[in-house]
Structure 1
Amino acid sequence: MASPSQFTDSVRILPGEGEERVDRILASITDAFCAFDSEWRFTFLNEAARSIFSPYVGDPEQLLGQCYWRIFPETLGTNLEREFRHAVAAGVAVDFEYFHAPWEHWYVLRGFPIQGGGLSVYFRDVTEEKLTAAALSASEERYRSLFNAIDEGFCIVEIIWDGNGRPVDYRFVDVNSAFEGQTGLHNAVGKTARELVPELEQHWFDVYGGVASNQKAVRFVQGAESMGRWFDVYAFPVGAKSDSRVAIRCTDISEKRGTEMEMARLNLESRSRVAELETLLDVLPVGIGIALDRECRKIRVNTAFAQVLGLERDGNASKTAPEEERPANFQIIDDTGRELSGEELPMQTAAREGKVIRDLELNIVHADGRWIRLLEYAAPLFDDQGQPRGSVGAFVDITERMLAEARQGFLVRLDDAVRPLSNAAEIVATSARLLGEHLRADRCAYAEIEADEDSMNIQGDYTRAVPSIVGRFTFTQFGTEALRCMRADETYVVQDIEKHQPAPEDLTAYQATLIRAVICVPLRKDDRFVAAMAVHQKTPRQWTQAEVSLVRHVANRCWEALERVRVTRELEESEARFRQIADLTPQVVWLARPDGQVTYFNRRWYAFTGHPEGNAGDASWVDVLHPEDLPVCLDRWSHSVNTGEPYEIRYRWRDRAGAYRWFLGRALPLRDEHGAIVRWYGTSTDIDDLVRAEEAARQARADAERANRAKDDFLAALSHELRTPLTPVLMAAEALSEDASLDTSTRDTLCMIQRNIALEARLIDDLLDLTRISHGKLALRLQEQEVHSLIELALDIVRDEAQAKKLTLHTDFKAPLSRLQCDPSRLQQVFWNLLKNAVKFTSSGGQISVRTRNEGSQIVVEISDTGIGIARDKLGRIFLPFEQAGLANDHRFGGLGLGLSISKSLVELHAGSIVAASKGPGHGAAFTVVLPVSLKAKESPESAAGEMSRPVSPSPTESMTMRLLLVEDHAPTLTVLARLLARAGHHITTADSVATALEAASLDRFDGVISDVGLPDGTGMELMKTLHASYGLHGIALTGYGMEEDIKQAHESGFVVHLTKPVQFAQLRQALVQLSTRLPKL
């Protein structure tokens, strides 16, 4: 009898069906069966049900038409009532056990709701099984005695796994008394195999681990070298899979390895312990059959095999049994569909021929159409004389595995058949044919769905004994339920359209197309119903879930194949358009694979190189690369290919005439949705004209830079030549002006000479400052300074000239915040330039005003005059070099026109601004300087600038007498300097060249050196380096070269101070003070 899980759930009992159908249904049912209508009246009882009811109700026929609850009121309020009513109300199957107290019997029941109302019930009496289970549960001692009665080694082990799920050991949970004798292992319980046999081979763990994980028994003969024994082993899983427990029956056959003796011993042992083996075999999930006669007329089976065959546990499973005992509810067929005769079956063959049958696969086909695939093993049983007396068989249900293999094999065949196809109609036809043949369906069709999600165009179908339905239909023709399922993305499955619920409104379309059973699978893409695939049967068919799943899977694969064809076609069309566009472009266009191999050039390439069309590949473009560009070009391309970075490089290609031209190569990768590169798109643009233009521009810049350097060198030389002759004049005038014996007129003349020399020096400084500014080399020496004091100093400088012109100087300092970070000498230069211009351009009797105020964190200095003014259209140009308020070619006022340009640059270097304003000619002008102020007055500790703006404090070292080496090639300067230094109390030795200076240094000891830089036989820099290295001397550079580089080189050579000619003697005295600090302390 089948277990509850094996009840057939496809039988439907409806009142009023024909006797022939009822008889056929009842013949297929081996359990007790009854049916109720919607009023709970009995409508059917089969023979098994009558047998159960008859001892308690008399004639069971009287139950028909009677209400169950009236006849059996004792079941009201029990779990039986609850389950029955739940099945009908919820429309679901129920499965439960029930103890009927009045009869003192246990039953297993399963109820199915009947379409249209009512309930069908399968049940069987399990009282005996319950009593047996209770008896077994209460007889542990009997179990132990039976367990120990097995004279073969028998144990139960628990598999031990490592972290990777690999069996590495097992622990003995229980052993029988014969175990130690068979294995030689003592006190095994609780210990592991490796503890008992450290060198035990890994294959023992692998075999038993496989039994535990696969839940399948194994029988094998194997030697254990580590134990020095051979064993005949039978191992099978026990308990739940998660327990990882395996029962092992083992026999030491070390001295009996012959096949005949082994089989005889197994036969003898099995005969003596049939009951024990049956108990053990019943717990196995593997089907077991045992025949104790050579003809196998009686085959007893365990529970697992009985369920597979649909037999009672104590039924006869033999197909060679007497006719009245032979099972008729199943057939055994081979893969050709032929039913096997009794003599061909494995157990019969093993018993008849005395040989083992292994790995035989057969099919069990039940009367209701169900089929099961079995993997079979059979071995003969021998009597005392070694003659076959029966057989034992093991049967493993491999249906699921076979279905999976068949499904996979079908999908592989489908892929192989569809993959090379590029035509949509062929893909549809091939897919439909293969699926229809695999499912043995009468028709298989594929349709594309129109925008209304109702109309379908069947593009191709496979048919078998039914007409093709290629054409246009609507789902509405096949019923609203079919349309609803398709739009809801639900599979429409019908076993029999004539009984299907909800029934279609009209069966005309089904009848016209010979559809009785159908699976129709919708395909939704981008949230739209786009396609469907269906299989049809002209007769009723019980579709399985696996078949429904397969149709859905094939539908998706068919869609994917059609999409592949569509995308391929679009790609081909896109490729063709791309090539047409590429051939029209004046650039070279090329494509490359992800590995960098070039696969395509447009026609521009072939026209340029002269290569034959179609000759792509790396060799073609590498061949025309300029040899100098080849290594870097290949390296850059390799880098881009390996990293995916964009490719960009310039290189030269050789044209068909052999001339090289410059190209700009660029390439970008095209990536798929996963970011992997699928292709490189590149262009090569002819930039030869551009490169030549760039080269010409570079040459022009180089020429301009050379011209600038020549200009700078000229200005430096001009500065030197102009400054050098001014020095003796300035110093002589300064010395004479200190002579108290001279009259006032003479001293005024000498002061006039000094002022004009200072003016000349300022003009030279302006030229040099302009050069410094244009090269960005003008550096500021910042310190915190009060602005008003700087303005006063500038006013002092121009005051005499203003008084000479009878100008009024007016100041109005209203800025309370007047300290700022600045270079005092440079900022004083700005204010002097502005005041000098105001004095210069203001007529006699005019006024010059200087005002200050604060605006936020800024100080505003405004210098205005009543002079000649500036035309408004010239205001934008007055800060340009060599501009003089727009007075072009007017030399009445003198000057170079550099003051305002330099002043603007100096102000901007201080983060400020300067602007000019004027109402026009004759209305004067105003210049406004805006500078950021210091909100916190704090002297910069490292500032050493602004020395010329502060008065020189007398120092004790000024009266110090020094021995000085004076080197100067300009005789007047040398004479005046020597006289003035001697008058100041210093001991002077003169030299006019590097050679005479070195000679003098070798003959005498000096405290310091004063030297010109430009000497006839070398430079003062070289001289100073030698003197410093040889004698430790420091010096003062006295030169007409005043550029930053000149000052830097002077300090690097050993000069302590750099003085730019013309020099006032007061400056020289201050420099001598600095020099004296380097003398050794006495």
Structure 2
Amino acid sequence: MEDTDKTKEQLLDEIAQLRERVQALEVSENESREREQELSEQFLQEQKARLQAQRSLQATNQKLIDIFESLPDALICVDTEWRYTIVNSHAEVLLGKSRSELLGRSAWDVFPSLIGTQAYTLYHKAMTEQIPIEYEDFCSELNKWFAIRIKPLPTGLSTYFRDITKRKQAEAERDRLLELEQTARLEAKSQHRRLKEIFVQLPALFAVLTGPEQVIEFANPTFLRVTGRSEDIIGKTDREAFPEMEGQIYFDVHDHVYRTGETIRYDECLSRWDAEGNGNLVEGFFNFVYLPLRNAEGEIEGILTHGIDVTAQVRARQQIEGLLEELKQKEEQLQQVTNAIPALISFIDVNGCYRYNNRAYEEWFGRPCAEFYGLHLREVLGEASWESIRPYVAAALTGHRVSFECEVTYPAVGKRYISATYIPHFSEQGDVTGFVALIQDISEQQAALRERKQAEAALQQSNEKLALLAEVASDLLLHEQPQTFINNLFKKLSAHLKLEFYFNYLVEQKQQRLRLHAYGGISQQVAEKIEWLELGQAICGMVALIKQPMVAENIQQSTDLSTELIRSLGIKAYACYPLVSQGQFIGTLSFGTRDRSCFQLSELSLMHTVCDQVATALERARLVAELQQRAEELAQANRIKDEFLAVLSHELRSPLNPILGWSRLLQTRKLDEVKMAQALATIERNAKLQSELIEDLLDVSRILQGKLSLNVSPVNLISTIQAAIETVHLAAEAKSINIEKTLAPQLSPVLGDANRLQQVVWNLLSNAVKFTPTGGSVAVRLEYVGNQALITVSDTGRGIHPEFLPHVFEYFRQADSTTTRKFGGLGLGLAIARHLVELHGGTVQVTSPGEGLGATFTVSLPLMSTQSPTDQDGELTKQSCDLDGIQVLVVDDDTDTREFVAFLLKQSGARVLTATSATEALAILIESQPDVLLSDIGMPEINGYMLMKQVRTLPPEQGGQIPAIALTAYAGEIHQQQAFEVGFQKHLTKPVEPDELVQAILTLIQR
């Protein structure tokens, strides 16, 4: 742009020079004319020069015009007299004037409004002081903004215009938007402040969480009060402030809203939190709304949590729903009662509209009951009939009970003579809410006037039955004791139907017999004689058998054997009904009378209806009693479980104390040989005790899962009993207890598992020794009765309380499970013993004269039908425990176990290689070719199962067929099965006896 401006100035200077030369030439021309004659030749030359100058001037002017036209800005030039000398096309457009309107004319004449303005002043300043001036100005005549540059010239001024109206408009718009933004920011801050004040005052829960970590920036007092927190949570993340809510929906919802910007609403959301800071979680229901909070650029900065505590409403609604459900059940029962009544029964509200109709309306009018709901009496009865009953309706709605008879013409049924009773219904406040209408068609009775009294009596009796049924329904719903409501029922029925007897038998499912549950009209002595009935015996037994009602009439003249019992009581008419609820037969209910020889159909119908309701009530009472019993059993089971867990903790921890104590003393190396031997014996004894406890627990687990298996073979009971006695011999000697044994010679062996049977006898003997005081005695007897072997273990110990005798063989049961108990144990041994005996097809029983008088346990086992010719349990030739020359690879990640097993095997003469992992074991196996692999199961990365699978894939020359033993703490049947499946030949459980381990290796090598 500067180069262009420079070119313009050079061109203007050239134009001025050219003009000066033209003027000089013109002067010279005048002089030449005077000297024309003398200087004609010179004149011709000057004339030629002038023409050339004019042509040059025209070319220069044209070139200048082309340059001016190519400029992006508007350009004008004025001379010193302010006359326009140059105007390019852009200037024409901006000024709105053509060149012809501008060239040669004064600027102030063309635009007189500029005189006295800033432009006028600046133009004169540039002309006078010959300085360039730049400025921006608004032209009101053109309604435009211009950027103007004025530059002085020797012949006047040049002016460059640029239309900046759009830029000015954009700047104005920008300023306006900036002002609006500032106003909005101030308003937002004000609103934020007001909103925060509102949040503080509102009873709802409000909190603001910011950032992806959900840092709590604000929480209103309601939020803090309900959650039980203080303002210390401000600045903490939601997970730090509410760690107890991990696993509930809230943290995931916070992250989701922050990540997606989605608004989420939860209604009646169940929440659990620690409101008191004591670790106890409280529950509540809240309506939550989670809103994303965005900044001015629309980016999510945090979330707003809004919650309303609706716990009271939800609890109330749940209570209402429960009441509604109960009401629905009562309504269904009422529906059943009213549908069984041969009369129109309806409820009319205070507006005279039907709100309830029984099924009789369908039979009368041939329309579903639902169509009557909401209809006015006038719409059903017709105008004439409505007017006839209108006074009675008005009386009922004022709180009066009304009974009347009248003729009514129903539009859909025709003329009927009815007997109606209107019984008003009152609210708790005593206001009438409507009335119950009981209507019977007595047209036939009215047809014969001579039978009017009989019809009236029947009507009165029917109304009494309706009232009776209403009372019966009420009693059945209110009373939970079966005998109570049946007795009350009989009192009402006997007064109404003149009944003297009733018998209620309930079926005993286990015995398939009927037992007298409630009765009336007979003495207790008679009731005891007929307490039990077989199915098919007497009328009640027949009804129980066929599950259909039976009615006996003229009983005193009958010779039917089934009526013999009731005939002896003087009963003349008898009706018995089965009690069935939801398809389940419960028992029978029968009624008898000495007053008449038969029942009317209405009486039988009434009794049948009542019996149906009694069946429902009995089933309800049974379910309630069963629920209460189950609740008590569950509480008892929980108590037993808690006691067992406490005992288990004690029994598992107790042996650890001497083990750890003596171990630490041994590490000091300050014990003499006597104390060292005592320490080792104590550690071994307590370790075995703990191992026995664990084995008992594993046995219980196997029993409960049905996975306890037996290794069955013929068993010599004498050897088994002697081995068990040998096991408890030291414990008995320590208490100076004499064990007397009386073992009859073996007649025939028992087919079973020798180890498990020894476990049974050992358990009985160890219990006898444990509960027998010092100096007492224990007796063991083996005898044979028929094809049964009887093992009897008796003691002179503390005995068993009679109330605890039935529970002796139950799991986790002990006569004393308190912390002050004198004897230890888990209470599992006898339960395991009973199960083992039953697996062998035998039984075990216990008797005790009482506490302090000892106890006797008797085990009965079936004998084999034939005796094996050889003694299956004779002395086995003990294999040598010498492992000389045998190389064993021991694999275990536990250092103590690995070093102990290696030391044990080395003591027995074996050469031992050790590996801490499966990877190391594979390398040693391929390189060294050991004779036996002894591996743990539970190891990191590659466990024993996986190791064995890899070993079995190796070729034989690399150890693929090496004998392998699994030595593991996984002692379950399933773990043993898995070990065998992957290729182990033996499965030993930790802790293992040294002799047992050595014997297992020798057996495997010899195999």
Normalised to the residue count of structure 1, the TM-score between the two structures is: 0.31
Q: Which has the higher contact order (CA 8 A, sep 6+)?
A: 1
- In the superposition, the TM-score normalised over structure 2's length comes to 0.33
